[in-house]
Amino acid sequence: MTLFTPETGRGEPSRPRPGTALVPGWLTLDQQAWIVGQFQAWAAGPVPIRAARVRGHEMSVRTVCLGWHWQPYQYTREATDVNGARVLPFPDWMVRLGRRALKQTGHTDTEVEAYTPDTALVNHYNDTARLGMHQDKDERSLAPVVSLSIGDACTFRFGNTENRNKPYTDLRLHSGDLFVFGGASRLAYHGVTRVHPFTAPDGCGLDSGRINITMRMTGLTD
Ligand code: SIN
Ligand code: MN
């Protein structure tokens, strides 16, 4: 039996902003469906998927984490804002996938070898979910963030490092797309302004809704 892991990619990157790369259709449908199967297991626990509370309000996005648990605005090994359980370990296949993502978006061999993502925030969006403009800045490392999208397409707004306003670029992220942001854009504000229902391709593993995985290096040690 061959163990299937989603480690091969395709497509050429575009660079919508400095330090970013977008590769449409990077994951095959089989790879997407395999990852959705993993997601279903992650979402069940030991830390069940949940909507984080930000300043007293529940986010419309639901999140399950791997490696380190994210809560506003810190990483912990135990999900102290959910049920106190320890999060699932960060899977080796995802480290390899993250390195492949950097390799295929023009990063140097040194950057690729040094890339050891140790947390993933796995977000689930229903038709009406949104994600406000924010920076990913709870990590101590400035290594790139690798983002994978599966299911319905979304409008992903990618902006500048100064504030939530213009200039920003609205990108359509489709099922299977890879987006990497590092370098000059590592601390850029970004968000999801809308999900586009009925756009998930047959065979991706999701009939509706959207999953996004962002893998990151926290720079933290126990
Ligand atoms: C995030 O900013 O953490 C998620 C982005 C996305 O859903 O594409
Ligand atoms: Mn983010």
CATH number at residue 33: 2.60.120.590
pLDDT of 135 = 98
Asked if residue 36 is part of any domain, the answer here is yes
Alpha-carbon gap, residue 5 to 79, rounded angstroms: 28
Q: Is 119 near ligand 1, meaning CB less than 6 Å away? A: no
Closest approach atom of ligand 1 to CA 123: 7
- Distance from residue 123's CA to the centre of ligand 2 (Å): 10
User: Which residues sit opposite 69 in a β-bridge?
Assistant: 76
Asked if residue 156 is part of any domain, the answer here is yes
The tokens 């449908």 sit on which residue? 29
Asked if residue 104 is part of any domain, the answer here is yes
Asked if residue 28 is part of any domain, the answer here is yes
pLDDT of 3 = 47
Asked if residue 107 is part of any domain, the answer here is yes
- Ion ligand 2 nearby residues (CB, 5 A): 136
Domain housing 137 = 21-216
Q: Which of 26, 54, 131, 185 to mutate to test the pocket of ligand 1 (most atoms within 8 A of CB)?
A: 131
pLDDT of 10 = 55
What is the residue-level pLDDT of the chain in tens, covering all 222 positions?
A: 344 556 545 567 999 999 999 999 999 999 999 999 999 999 999 999 999 999 999 999 999 999 999 999 999 999 999 999 999 999 999 999 999 999 999 999 999 999 999 999 999 999 999 999 999 999 999 999 999 999 999 999 999 999 999 999 999 999 999 999 999 999 999 999 999 999 999 999 999 999 999 999 999 999
Atom 3 of ligand 1: nearest residue by CA position: 214
Alpha-carbon gap, residue 75 to 71, rounded angstroms: 6
Count of domains observed in the chain: 1
The tokens 């390195």 sit on which residue? 99
Asked if residue 79 is part of any domain, the answer here is yes
Asked if residue 222 is part of any domain, the answer here is no
Closest approach atom of ligand 1 to CA 147: 8
Asked if residue 10 is part of any domain, the answer here is no
Closest approach atom of ligand 1 to CA 134: 2
pLDDT of 52 = 97
Residues 82-97 as b/e (b if ≥16 CB within 10 A, e otherwise) read beeeebbebeebbbeb
Alpha-carbon gap, residue 108 to 87, rounded angstroms: 31
